[in-house]
Amino acid sequence: MKVFYAKSKLIPFLASERAKGKTSGLVPTMGALHEGHLALVKASVSETDLSLSSIFVNPAQFNNPEDLLSYPRSLEEDLEKLKNAGCDVVYVPTEEDMYDPFREPGFRFDFGELERILEGRYRPGHFNGVALVVAKLFNITQPDFAFFGQKDLQQFHVVSTLVRDLTYNIQLRCIPTIREKDGLAMSSRNRRIPLKLRPVANIFYRSLNAARDMLRNGKSIQETRLQIHNLFRKEPEVDLEYFEVVDTAEFTIIENIRNENKTALCIAGYLNNIRLIDNVMYI
């Protein structure tokens, strides 16, 4: 496995691999890798000739400076995990390799309504930062495929919009969420959950399942939303930010389910000061 710290070395290397006719797949990450990330890498390994991962804690997508500071970092372990998963190339840029240290990026994405609902609403500027770094990574690595997790469902929609609107010749793959035994969605932030709060953490997944049962049994979205809010009120260590039902075709919040196989239930909130998100499909 080759590790690059500078795009000036990575770009010619990838060009020479492409010239040999190899297809490539990119898995962008922020490190602190777990089985969820590795599922993306394994999907890339099985579908492409050259599997590429990036590790970069992107400051532009953090709207909360404390979250950025406390974000877990474990580069050596990450590289070992990537090697074992069959990854061929890792790009670990320095901040200067991604952003001009003397100038804030002048370009801004506008994803319209997408930036005003759910993650967009609660994390202002987040999707602009995500799109900026993903576009840079696409331009640098020019992959044939890129792999993202369903866990960040709205992010997948943002990246799909980016690919469509800017005509990137990249096929996107959305990989199902990998969970702990009790259902908690794997996340780098889970490392920060104190042991004594760990049993409460799967409330997000439990709520999604309970909500899905309610909806399937004919309860309205409005009533279901109310019940999920009540459930969270009973748990002092957790705060619910949102529970919404979404039509994934255009990624809009809905009040009536029309398209069952394009309906997702999305949730986000805090366990202590740790922000967790999750979602399940209605079907």
For ligand AMP, how many residues bind (rule: CB under 6 A)?
17
Region near ligand AMP per CB under 6 A, out of 77-85, 147-155, 199-207, 250-258: 147-155
37 catalytic? Reply is yes
Q: Which is closer to ligand AMP, CB of 146 or CB of 221?
A: 146
Quick note: the x/- pattern for ligand AMP over 99-138, rule CB under 6 A, is ----------------------------------------
CB of 178 to ligand AMP, least distance (A): 4
SS (H, E, C) the chain: CEEECCHHHHHHHHHHHHHCCCCEEEEEECCCCCHHHHHHHHHHHHHCCEEEEEECCCHHHCCCHHHHHCCCCCHHHHHHHHHHHCCCEEECCCHHHHCCCCCCCCCCCCCHHHHCCCHHHHCCCHHHHHHHHHHHHHHHHCCCEEEEEHHHHHHHHHHHHHHHHCCCCCEEEEECCCECCCCCECCHHHHHCCHHHHHHCCHHHHHHHHHHHHHHCCCCHHHHHHHHHHHHHCCCCEEEEEEEEEECCCCEECCCCCCHHHEEEEEEEEECCEEEEEEEECC
Q: Determine if 91 is a binding residue for ligand AMP (CB under 6 A).
A: no
CB of 179 to ligand AMP, least distance (A): 7
Q: Determine if 202 is a binding residue for ligand AMP (CB under 6 A).
A: no
Q: Which is closer to ligand AMP, CB of 141 or CB of 177?
A: 177
238-247 and 263-271 strand pairing: antiparallel
Q: Which of 34, 37, 157, 229 is catalytic?
A: 37
Quick note: the x/- pattern for ligand AMP over 157-196, rule CB under 6 A, is ------------------x-xx------xxxx--------
Q: Determine if 149 is a binding residue for ligand AMP (CB under 6 A).
A: yes
Select the residue interacting with ligand AMP from 37, 42, 212, 275 (CB under 6 A).
Answer: 37
Select the residue interacting with ligand AMP from 10, 14, 26, 39 (CB under 6 A).
Answer: 39
Q: Determine if 29 is a binding residue for ligand AMP (CB under 6 A).
A: yes
Q: Which is closer to ligand AMP, CB of 185 or CB of 215?
A: 185
User: What distances in angstroms separate CA 275 from CA 35, 207, 259, 280, one per listed residue?
Assistant: 19, 16, 30, 18
Select the residue interacting with ligand AMP from 10, 30, 41, 98 (CB under 6 A).
Answer: 30
How crowded is residue 67: how many other Cβ atoms within 10 Å of its Cβ? Answer: 15
CA distance 283 to 280: 8
Select the residue interacting with ligand AMP from 138, 148, 232, 251 (CB under 6 A).
Answer: 148
In degrees to the nearest 10, what's the CA dihedral of 138, 142, 148, 154?
Answer: 40
Q: Determine if 279 is a binding residue for ligand AMP (CB under 6 A).
A: no
Q: Give catalytic residues, as residue numbers.
A: 37
**Which residues bind to ligand AMP, rule: CB under 6 A?**
29-30, 36-37, 39-40, 148-149, 151-152, 175, 177-178, 185-188
